[in-house]
Structure 1
Amino acid sequence: MSVLTVDGVWKNYHGHHVLRGIDLEVDTHEVVCLIGASGSGKSTLLRCVNLLETVDDGAILLDGKEITDPGVDVDDVRKRMGIVFQAFNLFPHMSVLDNITLAPRQVHKVARGEAEEQARELLGRFGLAEKAGAYPDQLSGGQQQRVAIIRALAMQPRLMLLDEVTSALDPALVTEVLGIIRELKQSGMTMILTTHEMGFCRDIADTVCFLDGGVLLERGTPEQIFSDPQHPRTRDFLRSVIEAGRL
């Protein structure tokens, strides 16, 4: 069974169709990369999956159960997903350790000692063990984004959603964030990510989906999409990426 099924999803903003009948299946341990120009609907799709936006038509299923039903417990659904945005959204008045342990303690009612032990294990796993007592403004942008990802992981999600998590970083810091995503793939995490890092997408994705004007125009393996795209719009997009030096 698929972890996630997006079935004919439409989303409108003030009469403008942002998503147009999106169909998508994400299997266990699969990494799906969404690519496309700004405004193509990538981020809106992730927000719909996480129920931050309501869909106007269609359905989204998590582990075979519809989560877009009006009667669904939204908080329960979000317990099973982690989402990380390009803005780090860390609480500035809280230490790294407290940022990571807040949700497990408040949502899952994990005891403080257990939550802190799990957080320290994650920080150690991703090279930030010495930053447990630091505050966000004492970290580099790359370190802050890694903490944001660790905070999402601390909820032990079924699915991770990563929305342009490197776009707010200086180029020198991008590598350390991409490294944590690569490690997540190796550990078997199911992920959907939007990215402008085409080389990284080609390297990490199992499936690449090209969105244009709210339509999922083409999907395939990285080899197929980047080497032999079938749709003219996909070819035009990749040509512009190559000209910009991003592939």
Structure 2
Amino acid sequence: MALLAMTGVRKAFGNHVVLSSVDLTIDAGQCVVLIGASGSGKSTLLRCANLLEVVDDGVITFDGRDITDPRVDGDEVRSRMGLVFQAYNLFPHLSVLGNVTLALRKVHGVPDAEARTRGLEMLDRVGLAEKASARPDDLSGGQQQRVAIARALVANPRLMLLDEVTSALDPELVGEVLDLLGELKADGVTMLLNTHEMGFAREVADQVCFLHDGRIHESGTPEQVLGNPTQERTRAFLSRIRA
């Protein structure tokens, strides 16, 4: 059974249809990468998966449960997913450790001592244990993004959703975040992310999906979609990216 499955998902804002009849499945341990031009619907797809946006039609199942059922508690669903945005969204008045452990303590009810232990272990995992007492403003952009990923990971989510997590970074900082995502993939973390980093998609993704005008026009292995695409729109997009 797929960990996450979207069937016929549609989402519009007014008369503007952003997602149209999207079908997507992700198995546990997979890394699925969404590619496509800005405005193709990639970020909205992630927000629908996380129930930050309510779909207009279609069904999303997570862990075998229909989470588009209006009776579902969205907060409970989101507590089992980790979501990382391109803007780090760290609280500047909290320490790095305070940011990482906030949801553990306030949302999941983890005692302070346990939260601190888990937070320090997670910071060590992302290579930032020595920055636990620092403030976010004292960190580089790459370090802040790694803190944001640690914050999402610390609650042991079933699924990580990552929305253009390198797009706000200086080019020299992109590599350290992509290296971390590669390590998470090797550890078996299930990820759905969108990115313009084609090299990363080629190396790490199990499945690449090309979105255009709110539809998945082509999907398959990185070798198929990035190396030998069958759709003209996919070829045109890749040509622009490579240029």
| TM-score computed with the length of structure 1 as normaliser | 0.97
What does residue 6 of structure 1 align with?
A: 6
Secondary structure of 1:34's match?
strand
Secondary structure of 2:216's match?
strand
What does residue 154 of structure 2 align with?
A: 154
- TM-aligned CA deviation for residue 11 of structure 1: 0.3
Secondary structure of 1:143's match?
helix
What does residue 131 of structure 1 align with?
A: 131
The whole-number CA distance in structure 1 between the counterparts of 2:210 and 2:84 is 21
The whole-number CA distance in structure 1 between the counterparts of 2:110 and 2:162 is 25
The whole-number CA distance in structure 2 between the counterparts of 1:50 and 1:186 is 23
Within 5 A, what are the aligned runs for 1:220-231?
220-231=220-231
The whole-number CA distance in structure 1 between the counterparts of 2:207 and 2:218 is 10
- TM-aligned CA deviation for residue 122 of structure 1: 1.0
The whole-number CA distance in structure 1 between the counterparts of 2:168 and 2:7 is 31
Instruction: Output one character per residue of 1:179-221: Cα deviation in whole Å (capped at 9) or x when no partner.
Output: 1101100100000010000111111100000000001000000
The whole-number CA distance in structure 2 between the counterparts of 1:227 and 1:125 is 33
Q: Which amino acid aligns with 1:209?
A: C
- TM-aligned CA deviation for residue 226 of structure 1: 1.3
Which portions of structure 1, spanning 4 or more consecutive aligned residues, are displaced by more than 6 angstroms? none
What does residue 101 of structure 1 align with?
A: 101
The whole-number CA distance in structure 2 between the counterparts of 1:165 and 1:227 is 24
Q: Which amino acid aligns with 2:13?
A: Y
The whole-number CA distance in structure 1 between the counterparts of 2:31 and 2:127 is 23
Instruction: Output one character per residue of 1:17-41: Cα deviation in whole Å (capped at 9) or x when no partner.
Output: 1000000000010000000000000
The whole-number CA distance in structure 1 between the counterparts of 2:180 and 2:122 is 11
The whole-number CA distance in structure 2 between the counterparts of 1:156 and 1:85 is 18
Sequence identity (%)? 62
The whole-number CA distance in structure 2 between the counterparts of 1:139 and 1:228 is 40
The whole-number CA distance in structure 1 between the counterparts of 2:6 and 2:90 is 29
Q: Which runs of 5+ in 1 are unaligned?
A: none
What does residue 217 of structure 1 align with?
A: 217
The whole-number CA distance in structure 2 between the counterparts of 1:44 and 1:213 is 12
What does residue 31 of structure 1 align with?
A: 31
The whole-number CA distance in structure 2 between the counterparts of 1:213 and 1:165 is 22
What does residue 92 of structure 1 align with?
A: 92
- TM-aligned CA deviation for residue 104 of structure 1: 0.7
The whole-number CA distance in structure 1 between the counterparts of 2:69 and 2:88 is 30
Instruction: Output one character per residue of 1:33-92: Cα deviation in whole Å (capped at 9) or x when no partner.
Output: 000000000000000000110100001100110111111011110111000000000001
The count of residues paired between Structure 1 and Structure 2 equals: 243
Secondary structure of 2:150's match?
helix
Q: Which runs of 5+ in 2 are unaligned?
A: none
The whole-number CA distance in structure 2 between the counterparts of 1:242 and 1:99 is 37
The whole-number CA distance in structure 2 between the counterparts of 1:98 and 1:68 is 33
The whole-number CA distance in structure 1 between the counterparts of 2:155 and 2:8 is 29
Instruction: Output one character per residue of 1:78-115: Cα deviation in whole Å (capped at 9) or x when no partner.
Output: 11100000000000100011111110111111111111
Secondary structure of 1:21's match?
strand
The whole-number CA distance in structure 2 between the counterparts of 1:148 and 1:115 is 16
Within 5 A, what are the aligned runs for 1:120-199?
120-199=120-199
Secondary structure of 1:7's match?
strand
| TM-score computed with the length of structure 2 as normaliser | 0.99
- TM-aligned CA deviation for residue 155 of structure 1: 1.4
Secondary structure of 1:105's match?
helix
- TM-aligned CA deviation for residue 16 of structure 1: 1.0
Q: Which amino acid aligns with 1:143?
A: Q
What does residue 237 of structure 1 align with?
A: 237
The whole-number CA distance in structure 2 between the counterparts of 1:12 and 1:158 is 27
Instruction: Output one character per residue of 1:124-164: Cα deviation in whole Å (capped at 9) or x when no partner.
Output: 12210110000000000000000000000011100000000
Secondary structure of 2:68's match?
coil
